[in-house]
Chains A and B, each alone.
Chain A
Amino acid sequence: MHIVVCIKQVPDSAQIRVHPVTNTIMRQGVPTIINPYDLFALEAALELRDKFGGEVTVLTMGPPSAEDSLRKALTFGADRAVLLTDRFFAGADTLATTYALATAIRKIGTTFGEPDIVFAGKQTIDGDTAQVGPGVAKRLGLLQLTYVAKIGKLDLAARTIEAERRSEGGVQVLQTQLPCLITMLEGTNEIRRGAMVDALRAARAKVVVWSAKDAGVEDISKCGLKGSPTIVKRVFAPPPRAEKAAFVNPGELPPADALIAELFKRQPKLEGELVALSRGF
């Protein structure tokens, strides 16, 4: 079987700094990583391949430097990597991103074999929208299984797959037809340590690099900023609250008592509510 995994290279956001004066992002020297949510998708794909045979192709859209993340995915054991990179893709919102990715997945299908499953992470840590997976599925006419906690029975002959999907009040056990798109929930598996043979292969591997034209994009106006129905009108730091926190100065009192006194002074009703809560009312 053929599995395509969509990944994204993201800034290691814990280390993002905002310039104190200009309020702009200081990108210099910020290390990049594979979006952590995507690793659960990659591992799920590799496990299926190990069990059923076939190939895993990883796909990303990004600047040329996103090749680093693809190579990393190869060291984990992916068989092939495709980088979609073109200045026409810059500034894409979710709709324009799904257009580019869906086009590339079609091209992957005709070039390397039609995918049985397309995987994606639940969301990215920089955009946080969780909308690209469903959008790609819709564009490709694939059935979608989102927030999957566990993949169950896969019957390649009957072309069916079962999965446990997290919903608001419980878990739905769903069965659908291949080909489908799956977004994996976090914490559902752990990315393997790549084998030495994969590391060596990854170092030598040639990443497939496609421009918009190479990928078969016919209408450039559907890509990037031009193809994005949403417009970012303003980026800003949230205004600080007018008054800063009132600092508790314990003085003679033990700090815990001073803090509690300040709390109840400010909100006298709170004590009664806490008494009720602490007794489980």
Chain B
Amino acid sequence: MSEPTKAPAPAGRASTKKELPDHFKAYKHVWVFVEQERGQVHPVSWELMGAGRQLADKLKVDLAAVVIGPTGEAIQHAAAEAFCYGADLAYVVADDVLADYRNESYTKALTDVVNTYQPEILLLGATTLGRDLAGSVATTLLTGLTADCTALDVDTDGSLAATRPTFGGSLLCTIYTLNYRPQMATVRPRVMPMPDRVERMATRIIEHKLGMVEDDIVTKVLSFMPDRDSAKSNLAYADVVVAGGMGLGSPENFQLVRGLAAVLGAEYGCSRPLVQKGWVTSDRQIGQTGKTIRPKLYIAAGISGAIQHRVGVEGADLIVAINTDKNAPIFDFAHIGIVTDAIRLLPALTEAFRVRLSPHSRDRIAS
């Protein structure tokens, strides 16, 4: 290379002038992509409806659900449910070639609806489906996409302010798509609270034709192998979670975390370094690059509490931290802390819970 390379401009000093081109000024309303696969709506879609409702109220615009899938009862039901979670209207693209998720057909469906009805904000769940779809749609529309947001808000000028962790989860940043529409963002499951379901009539449902036949789609689904129930971890939606971190010292000691989780009927998880070291499988990772959890009780054993972990657990009702370092960042956001070695405390805690929660517990009967 002939020219010297200048360091990238520091984040935050970029041009932040808003000059929305005229043709984008017609883009109005907040949309949520309602993800359904095999007749089941992913709960992240309703979580997004809650977040979308707040954005729409601030902007004084409508909240719309976009439902894409095969014809039949399931898609009609999903569209009707969207109203109970806050939608003012729903766009439905129903066609039997949409029976299985495929990038080609879903990208066309969503892109066409966006181009026809022109939303200013489009939210999707950051699931395997949502991430596969969002990147294709944003690139087709040549608009901005902020992935894996942890907070969404509306700025005074009406722009979407999308906050996400950055630099490997050591800081947070707020990202704007000032001069392109729609402003797209994905949010991972459990990051937003589940809104209350309120029985409401489905009023405005707008059907949109796909305009594609099976022969137009190159990729074919040869088969689908559903996960065995026993192999599925319910970590993201568990009521109680016990997790371990580097403070456990060795892979063998992770058994202590599993033991406590078993006694509590809880799911177990871990921090990122344990996955990177190969001690625990990645489906058990909690944090920005793993699962986000919102349990009633979260027990973190030997986890220091880096920001990328913090953003994954902050929605928990009660966070208990066990760590030998009283200055560990986890004590900045835990509700209850105990400064001790998790390796010693976990077996005692497991036994104490076992006794306390057993049907013959005197403690409990007395109290």
Residues in A lying within 8 Å of B, measured CB to CB: 10-11, 13-14, 16-18, 23, 25, 36, 63-64, 85-87, 90-91, 93-95, 98, 123, 125-126, 128-135, 137-139, 143-147, 162, 166-177, 186-187, 209, 211, 225, 228-238, 240-241, 244-248, 250, 254-260, 262-263, 266-267, 270-271, 273-275, 277-280
Contact = CB atoms under 8 A, between A and B. Distances in A.
Contact of A64 (B5, B146, B167, B318): B5
Given A131-B134, A245-B331, A277-B239, A177 B218 contact: yes
Given A236-B172, A256-B345, 4 more contacts: A95-B139, A131-B135, A162-B222, A273-B239
Nearest to A102: B139
A168 B289 contact: no
B340 A255 contact: yes
- A-B pairs, top 6 by smallest CB distance, nearest first, are A134-B135, A13-B168, A245-B337, A229-B144, A277-B265, A129-B147
B79 to A, nearest CB: 20
Interface residues of B, number: 114
Contact of A131 (B5, B147, B281, B289): B147
A96 B166 CA distance: 18
- Interface SS, B side: mixed
Contacts of A134: 103, 131-132, 134-136, 139
B288 A128 contact: yes
Contacts of B330: 245
B219 interface: yes
Interface string B313-345: 000011111000010001111111111100001
A240 B332 contact: yes
Contact of B336 (A91, A175, A229, A248): A248
A186 B272 CA distance: 14
A85 B1 contact: yes
Nearest to B173: A235
A143 B135 CA distance: 13
Contact of A168 (B42, B174, B349): B42
A20 B222 CA distance: 54
B265 A278 contact: yes
